[in-house]
Amino acid sequence: MNTKFPQVTTTIFAEMSQLAAEYNAINLAQGFPNFTPDPVLLQCLEESLASPIHQYALMPGNLQLREAISDLILSTENIHVSPIDNILITAGATEGIFCTIQALVSPGDEVLILDPGYDCYELPVILVGAEAKRIALNEHFLPDWNLIFNQVNKKTKLLIINTPHNPSGSIWSQEDMDQLLKLLSIHPQLLVLSDEVYAFIVFDKKHISARFNELLRERSIIASSFGKTYHVTGWKVGYLTASKYILDEIKKVHQFLVFSVNSPAQEAFARYLPLSNPVALGAFYKSKRDLFKSQFESSRFKLLPCDGTYFQVLDYSAISSLSDKDFCIWLVKEIGVAAVPLSAFYGDKKDQKLIRFCFAKDETTLLKATEKLCKI
């Protein structure tokens, strides 16, 4: 087979999860919770399954769900987003990101990806014949605005941002958002794709959405995830918010990629959102982060700051000189715990002796894993 994408292999998340299964290791590599969803959400799903909603949903999504999302944004951000014109239900945030790039980026355009970044950003850019340009974040995994301003030019169509940030857990400040606003005011052709799937998983700092300012709302596409927020990653339901003129273009791709998203799941979320309080998610995961961190006080690992997401980055340089990927393989085979090497998030596979763990696990799992790790 003459492969179309020789640079693309199986994702590191699938690779490490498979290795963890082979060696019966505790899987803290892939970002998914191992505890059950809210029983109220499951009850909403049962009620949905018993109702006559088993055929195609509307292409833009269940209207009641879009109205519930609009109400959620109004209650948490004090911003009105039209459920008719500005919200699209997607098959997970990843499908929304893919459709956005396919719809808005053309051959010869440039797309800026902040490095390190999630691995689903680059392939859609390559697929449309555009150029994916990586721009390094600073040592705190926050934007280096001098670099960004110097890289944006007339060919730059899209800047992809991610806050709270996977893999580092960093969160953009108000100053960062103000710089983004300044960048857009200078470059009228530039759009922003803001990956905000961990928006409700924040601890000591506040998440600021790209919706916060009128100009940003006009030029930004925000990707969100019910799977991340409500512990149901396997349901694969997310949503985009954007201006009507942008979202109308994205729908042109969405309708031929999936047309519509799982009807019972959409109905379940439509019933559940008015009953839920996603803002409480921060305190829930903060307790897990704090438990995870507390177990490493006497270890040789160094923990980096984590202000959001359910990921913790550790520096193992005092323990081993192995590459981060080889160290992760060694952890699975010899220690029985799976992690993800941070080099997988870099375009050039930069190795800084850093690895990422997912702490979205029950207490027993976290204690068993940290007990093994702290014996190293």
Q: Are 261 and 57 in contact (CB under 8 A)?
A: yes
Which numeric CATH code is attached to 39-275?
Answer: 3.40.640.10
Token pair, residue 363, equals: 């207490």
Which of these ranges, 12-21, 97-106, 253-262, has the smallest mean pLDDT?
Answer: 12-21
Sign, CA dihedral 307-20-364-361, equals positive
- Output the average pLDDT for the chain: 96
Inform me whether the pLDDT recorded for 7 exceeds 80. Answer: no
Selected from 3.90.1150.10, 3.40.1160.10, 1.10.10.10, 3.30.1390.10, the CATH number assigned to the domain covering 12-30+279-373 reads 3.90.1150.10
Say whether the peptide bond before residue 264 is cis (omega within 30 degrees of 0). Answer: no
> Amino acid identity, residue 333?
K
Distance between alpha carbon 12 and the CA centroid of its chain, in Å?
Answer: 15
Angle between helices 281-294 and 363-373 (to 10 degrees): 30
Q: Domain residues of the chain, as ranges?
A: 12-30+279-373, 39-275
- Which residue type, as a one-letter code, is found at position 152? V
Report the first-to-last Cα separation within the chain, whole angstroms.
Answer: 44
Closest CA to 262 of 240, 234, 293, 242: 234
User: CA–CA separation, 217 vs 215, rounded Å?
Assistant: 5
Q: What angle do CA 309, 280, 276 make, to 5 degrees?
A: 110
Q: Where are the beta strands (DSSP E) in the chain?
A: 26-27, 87-90, 110-115, 131-136, 156-162, 191-195, 220-225, 238-241, 302-303, 311-315, 337-338, 340-341, 354-358
Reported as a single tens digit per residue, the pLDDT across 201-210 is 999 899 999 9
Residue 9: is its pLDDT beyond 80?
A: no
From residue 135, alpha-carbon distances to 4, 141, 159, 169, 205 in Å are 25, 11, 10, 18, 24
Could you tell me which of 206, 202, 204, 180 has the C-alpha nearest to residue 193? 180
In this prediction, residue 157 carries a pLDDT of 98
Helices 263-272 and 63-77 cross at an angle (nearest 10°) of 40
Per-residue pLDDT reduced to its tens digit, 84-110: 999 999 999 999 999 999 999 999 999
Beta-bridge partner residues of 115: 136
Task: Give the pLDDT score at 6.
Answer: 76
3 state SS of 220: strand
What's the pLDDT band for 32 if we cut at 50, 70, 90? confident
Statement: residue 10 has pLDDT above 80: no
What's the CA gap between 187 and 5, in Å, rounded?
32
Predicted confidence (pLDDT) per residue in 295-304, tens digit: 998 899 999 9
Strands (E), 253-374: 302-303, 311-315, 337-338, 340-341, 354-358
Joined together, the tokens standing for residue 351 give: 């190795």
Count of C-beta atoms within a 10 Å radius of residue 238: 24
259: number of Cβ within 10 Å: 12
Q: Where are the beta strands (DSSP E) in 118-230?
A: 131-136, 156-162, 191-195, 220-225
What pLDDT, on the 0 to 100 scale, is given for residue 343? Answer: 96
Residue 27 token pair: 């899987």
Helix, strand, coil tally for the chain in percent (to 5): 45, 15, 40
**Residue that has been written with the tokens 């160290």 in this structure:** 327
- CA angle 156–157–158, rounded 5-degree value: 105
Per DSSP, which regions of 242-374 are E strands? 302-303, 311-315, 337-338, 340-341, 354-358
